Amino acid sequence: MTSSPLHTAPLQHHQSLFPAQCYLGILLVALLSTICDACSEPPRHETMDLVGSPRPHYNVGERVLYVCKPGYQQRASSTIITTCAANGVWTPLSKDSCTTLFKYKSRKPCPTQSDPVNGQVKLLNGSFEVGSQIQFVCNEGFYLIGRSILKCLRSGSNVYWSSDPPLCEKILCEPPPKIKNGTYSSSDKEVFEYHEIVTYSCDQTSGPDQFSLVGEKQIYCSGNRAWSSEPPQCKVVKCPFPVVENGQQTSGFQKKYAYKAKVMFKCNQGFVLHGNDMIVCDADNTWKPPVPKCLKEPPCPPTSSTKPPNSSKPTTSGVSGALDFQDLNGWIFALTVGVFCNLLELQ
Ligand SMILES: *[C@@H]1O[C@H](CO)[C@@H](O)[C@H](O)[C@H]1NC(C)=O
Ligand SMILES: *[C@@H]1O[C@H](CO)[C@@H](O)[C@H](O)[C@H]1NC(C)=O
Ligand SMILES: *[C@@H]1O[C@H](CO)[C@@H](O)[C@H](O)[C@H]1NC(C)=O
């Protein structure tokens, strides 16, 4: 630096006096006008750092040096020196004096992945670039072996996929389970195709009771080595002969009641049905719902032992246990009917 002490003294050590001095003699004004032309702090750059700490003022003709920030490289034939020009402006620096070291390497994508046989590859991030993910899906009737999602990774200057692309294999099923006292269609096949159906049937017996098929009559190959459901069972199902006193059967007349047999009833005149008028023989040899009864008195609604009737609208009060008016009415009704019915049963 070649600036004289006259120039630097007021600038650096007596800044508060500086405006006052500007009003001094013509010589000083002329002198200071060159100082007032000085540059302020040099500009900051995204890609480069100033060498040394910046000062608030620089003299015309002073030069400052920059270095590229870590990860950036100075371009050949580029200069990263700036000079304080006479108008108090730093000579502009080319923005791309420093370029990214990895700029071109990071743009290198992973190798293109094409659709697998019997499947597709989906670009989750729209490209095969580093950091993006791709997903493999198999066509209907095929299943994926391997990882479905691959990520493009980088290590140094290498880009690679996080794993090998998966394969799409044809979905096949092994023969479905064999069942006791029954069989299924095409029971001699070794391999079943996707969505292929097998139908089970029960063996015929020479005895008095035939087997009933309980469960799904048909199942299908729904996935690789997977059937849509458990196979059915062949069971002898016998429900007891349903007897309703003071009532009569109206349909489903049979000598024996096997699985899924359906029977309907009605009560004789003067009697009221308690229960369901239609019952079905279930796999556990019982009627569902239970055989109804025909009684003189009307059936009772649920009494105090059960929950209060549900309110049709949600309670507006946030306080738990608060009853709204509808709840209260329901309670009163249930209790009244309950007491009335209990009195009747006591007679
Ligand atoms: C790529 O897409 C996936 C799924 O939409 C998302 O979770 C992930 O953040 C994305 N990755 C990038 C680098 O954008
Ligand atoms: C039903 O299967 C069992 C076991 O396989 C067998 O012992 C029995 O004889 C079969 N019953 C009839 C009636 O076929
Ligand atoms: C009453 O509400 C309970 C729980 O919200 C529900 O499980 C039940 O089915 C409801 N009963 C009636 C009769 O609406």
3-state SS, one letter per residue, for 264-306: EEEECCCCEEECCCEEEECCCCCEECCCCEEECCCCCCCCCCC
Asked if the domains at 29-101 and 172-227 fall in one CATH topology, the answer is yes
User: Strand 262-267 vs strand 278-281: parallel, antiparallel, or unpaired?
Assistant: antiparallel
Q: Which ligand 2 atom sits nearest the alpha carbon of residue 211?
A: 13
Considering every ligand atom shown, identify the ligand nearest to the alpha carbon of residue 210 and give its number.
2
Residues 6 or more apart in contact with residue 310 via CB below 8 angstroms: none
Residue type, 303: T
> How far is the centre of ligand 3, averaged over its atoms, from the C-alpha of 283 (Å)?
28
pLDDT value of position 88: 85
- Residue minimizing CA distance to atom 9 of ligand 2: 181
Report how far residue 344's alpha carbon sits from residue 272's, in angstroms, rounded to the nearest whole number.
Answer: 15
Residue pair 74/80 in contact by the 8 Å Cβ criterion: yes
| Phi, psi of 342, rounded to the nearest 5 degrees | -60, -40
CATH fold, domain 29-101, is Complement Module; domain 1 (2.10.70)
Report how far residue 296's alpha carbon sits from residue 139's, in angstroms, rounded to the nearest whole number.
Answer: 65
> How far is the centre of ligand 1, averaged over its atoms, from the C-alpha of 123 (Å)?
10
> How far is the centre of ligand 1, averaged over its atoms, from the C-alpha of 132 (Å)?
6
Domain 247-296 in CATH 2.10.70.10: yes
Asked, as a colleague might, if the bond just before 289 is cis with ω within 30 of 0, I would say yes
Q: Which ligand 1 atom sits nearest the alpha carbon of residue 131?
A: 13
pLDDT value of position 334: 59
pLDDT value of position 339: 58
Q: Write the burial class of residue 257 (CB in 10 Å: 0-12 exposed, 13-18 middle, 19+ buried).
A: buried
Report how far residue 39's alpha carbon sits from residue 61's, in angstroms, rounded to the nearest whole number.
Answer: 9
Residue pair 292/276 in contact by the 8 Å Cβ criterion: yes
Q: Where are the domains of the chain?
A: 29-101, 119-170, 172-227, 247-296, 300-347
Residue with the two structure tokens 């013509």: 26
Residue pair 45/66 in contact by the 8 Å Cβ criterion: yes
Whether the model pTM is above 0.85 = no
Q: Which two tokens stand for residue 218?
A: 């048909």
Q: Which of 180, 233, 236, 237 to mutate to test the pocket of ligand 2 (most atoms within 8 A of CB)?
A: 180
Q: Write the burial class of residue 207 (CB in 10 Å: 0-12 exposed, 13-18 middle, 19+ buried).
A: exposed
Report how far residue 13's alpha carbon sits from residue 101's, in angstroms, rounded to the nearest whole number.
Answer: 43
Domain 119-170 in CATH 2.10.70.10: yes
CATH fold, domain 172-227, is Complement Module; domain 1 (2.10.70)
Q: Which ligand 1 atom sits nearest the alpha carbon of residue 132?
A: 13
Q: Can you give the pLDDT of all 347 residues of the chain as single tens digits?
A: 444 444 444 444 445 554 555 444 444 444 445 556 789 988 888 788 888 888 988 999 898 888 887 767 787 767 788 899 888 888 888 777 887 765 544 578 999 999 999 999 999 999 999 999 999 999 999 999 999 999 999 998 899 999 999 999 999 999 999 999 999 998 899 999 999 999 999 999 998 899 999 999 999 999 999 999 999 999 999 999 999 999 999 999 999 999 999 999 999 999 999 999 999 999 999 999 999 999 998 877 766 655 566 666 555 544 444 445 555 565 665 565 555 556 555 54
Residue type, 156: G
Q: Which ligand 2 atom sits nearest the alpha carbon of residue 207?
A: 13
